[in-house]
Amino acid sequence: MIKNYPLYDVPKVNTIQEMIIRSSKEYSDKLALEDLNQTPISNVTYRQLYDYIIRFGKSLFELGIKERDHIAIISENRVQWSLSYLTTMCFNMVAVPLDKNLNQNEMLNIIHESDAKAIIFSDSFEPLMKEKRDSLVNLKYYINMDSKEDKNNIFSMIRMIERQNPIIDHLPNIDPNAISEIIFTSGSLGRAKGVMLTQKNLAANLVAMTSMIRITPEDKFLSVLPIHHKYECTCGLLCPLYAGSSAHYAQSLKTVVDDLQKVKATILLGVPLLYDKMFKKIYKGIQEDKVKSKIVPPLVSVTNFLQSIGWKGSKKLVFKELHEKFGGSIRLFIAGGAAPDPKVAKGLRELGFNFVQGYGLTETAPIVALNRLYSFKDNAAGLPLPGLEVKINNPNEHGSGEVFVKGESVMLGYYKNQKLTNDAFEDKWFKTGDIGFFDKDGFLHINGRQKNVIISKSGENVYPEEIEDILIRSPFIQECMVYGEKDEKHTEIISVQIVTDAESFIEYSGKNKVQITPELVNTMISDAVKEANKELPTYKQIRKFYIRDTEFEKTTTQKIKRYLVKDVK
């Protein structure tokens, strides 16, 4: 039975400016942000963060930047990115976070489309800024995070901060319902889509989210996802600052385990791919150890029983050695960006790691639904956030339909694109484009994206994501993409492109003393497809598969860019 328990009582804030002022007073000398790489400003307390915001904001005004001007920000995850972003919020400007992995054309296009007046960047982007300066006619001010001195009309962020004192009569007044940031999707010239969010959107999402999952000043977040993305920015930056926690920026994705140990992190935000790899590595280590392979399964059963009778700390005690590898302090793994494999969630939880997932979109700032620590379903997106209305529009006979959302965290619309904005709303409800349903306990389940739906020969809707989730459980499949393909009779059949897991094949080859050949790979993948088909009704079963030589191109949250994938003939 799903446990129901009250929401946490959390402080109400209407703007990010209000949140920063409150936190700077309440958590003054406590560490707020830290870079695990060496940077010019590698750590700040809450008081220092506020002082730097005042200094930097005053310098921006002194340059000639005004309230409501648009400021682009691009860099690796670091304290100075957060400082730049928070300064725009506190000084009534509009932040334009840029994806550092965009190609050059996309980046230039978004800078142009955003009407940015200034850009704040790290050293790695200075050559591009210099080269394209004549093309970026709207940009008046260039600010380098790393430079120690102003040079060639590029200002030093460090010098700008040093030139000012942290005294200000009053910060600008903030209209909570005015645009405060524009987050652009990638897109070709004239087609980039800019989501307009307000400080009220962000604040409402923070308050609702932390009323469902308790975050404390003792928590330490390890930040590994790209900070420009709304999931990481709201949940990995604003959330800890709101709760008095600290955020620590990882050195890289490859150093996550080392960084968890160094920081003694308590919370990690990740995408499913990160947790899949983590769990596979843990499980492989258990299987390869003769003693652990025999004792871990019964220990899981025993600790499951102990937890059922109220001994909540049994798993961490029994699996202490494993927890120490992750720093010994992890209390919560949070997954977002896509649906995690329920088996991975269950597997991590059985080893003593609390695991929850949520669901959201950039347009909703971003969280819509969230599982709770003691009220969760691993196959569900979660329970709707308090204050958000969520409904299934025109449900079919199975209760599935497009997910519509209404509430304070829903965006204003798309920047300079009224038609796209109008298309995104229906009677003030935001149309997510996701197909889902509610179960009897009120949990929201997501089937997949409406635009990805395949119509089977029998007329049934087939959601590729559902099939992909089953396929990816095979250790021999690293990633895959399911889609509809016309056969010789012009009937749409279910096909899949598969990227194999080289490490698993190498391991299999060594254990079984067989050579890896195209025939072996084809046979093993064919068997994996057959196993997946056993779990699927006839109309959802895979009829063709293709093995790819290269990985799929992906977004920053590791979602496959489906529109770039061409049929294999």
Packing angle between helix 290-308 and helix 272-288, nearest 10 degrees? Answer: 120
Indicate the SS3 state at residue 517.
Answer: coil
Contact criterion met (CB below 8 Å) for 244 and 216: yes
Q: What is the pLDDT of residue 186?
A: 59
Q: Is the pLDDT assigned to residue 435 strictly greater than 60? A: yes
CATH 3.90.1200.10: does it fit domain 16-268? no
User: Which pLDDT score is estimated for 191?
Assistant: 66
Between 464 and 217, the higher pLDDT residue? 217
pLDDT-based confidence at residue 82 (cuts at 50, 70, 90) = very high
> Hey, what are 438's tokens?
């509610």
Instruction: Flag whether pLDDT at 189 surpasses 60.
Output: no
Lowest-pLDDT choice from 99-108, 196-205, 305-314: 305-314
Residue 418, classified by CB atoms within 10 Å of its CB into exposed (0-12), middle (13-18) or buried (19+), is exposed
Confidence band of 386 (pLDDT split at 50, 70, 90): very high
Task: Please state, in angstroms and rounded to a whole number, the distance separating the CA atoms of residues 543 and 456.
Answer: 12
Task: Give the percent of the chain with pLDDT over 70.
Answer: 96
pLDDT band at residue 131, thresholds of 50, 70 and 90?
very high
Let me know how many helices (H) and strands (E) the chain has, helices first.
19, 27
Q: What residues contact 100, with CB distance under 8 A and at least 6 apart? A: 74, 75, 76, 125, 226, 228
Q: Has residue 187 got a pLDDT over 60?
A: no
Mean pLDDT of 279-294: 86
Spell out the domain ranges in the chain: 16-268, 458-564
* Residue 567 pLDDT: 62
Q: Residue 558: CA atoms inside 13 Å, Cβ hemisphere, count?
A: 20
pLDDT digit string, tens, across residues 540-567:
899 999 999 899 988 766 778 887 786 6
What pLDDT score was predicted for residue 227?
A: 96
Average pLDDT along the chain? 92
Query: What is the average per-residue pLDDT within 130-137?
Result: 92
Whether the predicted pLDDT of 350 surpasses 80: yes
Does position 1 have pLDDT exceeding 60, yes or no?
Answer: no
pLDDT at 280: 86
Averaged over 254-277, what is the pLDDT? 93
CATH of the domain spanning 458-564, picked from 3.30.300.30, 3.90.1170.50, 3.50.50.60, 3.40.225.10 = 3.30.300.30
> Over 90: is that where the pLDDT of 128 sits?
yes
Residue with the larger pLDDT of the pair 366 and 503: 366
Percent of the chain with pLDDT over 90: 75
Least trusted range by pLDDT, from 246-250, 394-398, 460-464: 460-464
DSSP letters spanning 421-443: HHHHEETTEEEEEEEEEE-TTS-
Kindly report the pTM of this predicted structure: 0.86
What is the 3-state composition of the chain as percent helix, strand, coil, each rounded to the nearest 5?
A: 40, 25, 40
pLDDT at 175: 98
DSSP state of 382: B
Cα-Cα-Cα-Cα torsion 416, 420, 423, 428, nearest 10 degrees, comes to -30
CA separation for the pair 176, 171 (Å, rounded) = 14
84 — phi, psi (to 5°)? -65, -45
Mean pLDDT, residues 239-262 taken together: 96
Q: What is the pLDDT of residues 484-523, one digit of tens each?
A: 887 776 667 899 999 999 988 998 998 899 999 999 999 9
Pairing mode, strands 383-384 and 454-455: unpaired
What's the pLDDT score for residue 79? 98
pLDDT of 524 > 80? The answer is yes
What is the Cβ-side half-sphere exposure of residue 54, based on CA atoms within 13 angstroms?
A: 17
Model confidence at 284, in pLDDT bands (50, 70, 90)? confident
Per-residue pLDDT of 19-74, as tens digits, reads: 999 999 999 999 999 999 999 999 999 999 999 999 999 999 999 999 999 999 99
Q: What's the pLDDT tens digit per position in 200-240?
A: 999 999 999 999 999 999 999 999 999 999 999 999 999 99
Distance, in Å, from the CA atom of 518 to the CA atom of 465, rounded to the nearest integer, reads: 27
pLDDT band for position 346 (50/70/90)? very high
